[in-house]
Amino acid sequence: MDAVIIAAGYGSRLAELSPSKPLTPVCGMPMIEIGMRQAMAAGITRIVVVTGHKADEVEAFLASLAPRLSIAIVPVRVADWSKPNGYSVMVGAAQCAGDYLLMMADHLFESDLLTRLLQTGSPTRDVTLAVDPYVDNPLVDPDDATWVKTDERGFITAIGKTITAYDAVDCGAFLATPKLAAAIGDAIAAGKPGSLSDGMQMLADSGRAATHGVNGGWWMDVDDPRAHALAEALAPQHLEALAQASGSSTASG
């Protein structure tokens, strides 16, 4: 299965640490490489990366990374990376023939979480979003989180940063079908700005947006220096990519 990783945004809150959010290192490894390694451990065999801000630098890194990871990496640029992230999703999805794992370059996930998400496909859903029901998770920035309200089946009824009734937080990993990109396009046609959440709400309104609870699985949104410091401290305990790198370093020493 393919993965689509969104790596186009500016990342203003991490700018003091790095000029490129996807290339910001956590424990010595760029976040986008961590995400790719975790996706590969979950079974992904091809990766599409949507670039925008600092695209030349990101794409040069990807060109060097592909042979090291022995995986096909397809970079594709979004025309205007200042637009909402739904535009990046549509550009990335256009490179995929079927369903795909959608991830954000600034989110970290343990591979088991992604493996379980990839097993949730069903004809009854057009997208499945990994959600954390622990809404008071101290690793979550409540001012930046995307919140989710679900029904008794675990399907989404509302999603967004400003909704006031919610029972879970969006983890930033999706098992998507081609219907997600189509829904974003429909939302734009209806006058919405074009965020990923706009498309998700369109699918939710038609009863086609499901959730998958992470059940204690480890994840983080590394969006500012505070979150970055937490990731530096916690990620080695949870991420296969960093554990492997540490083991290789010890063996070579």
Task: Encode pLDDT of 26-60 as tens digits.
Answer: 999 999 999 999 999 999 999 999 999 999 999 99
User: What's phi and psi for 154, nearest 5 deg?
Assistant: 85, 15
Q: What does DSSP say about strands 100-104 and 2-7: parallel, antiparallel, or unpaired?
A: parallel
pLDDT of residue 11: 80
What is the total residue count of the chain?
Answer: 253
pLDDT of residue 81: 94
Q: Is the pLDDT of residue 175 over 50?
A: yes
pLDDT of residue 248: 46
* pLDDT, tens only, 95-146: 999 999 999 999 999 999 999 999 999 999 999 999 999 999 999 999 899 9
Rounded to 5 degrees, what angle do the CA atoms 88, 116, 161 make? 45
Domain residue limits, the chain: 2-223
Mean pLDDT of the chain: 94
Q: If you search the block for the tokens 């490179």, which residue do you land on?
A: 95
CATH class of 2-223: alpha beta
Q: What is the DSSP string of 44-109?
A: --EEEEEEBTBHHHHHHHHHHHHHHHTSEEEEEE-S-TTS-HHHHHHHHHTT-SS-EEEEETTEEE
Give the confidence band of 246 by pLDDT, cuts at 50, 70, 90: low
pLDDT of residue 152: 96
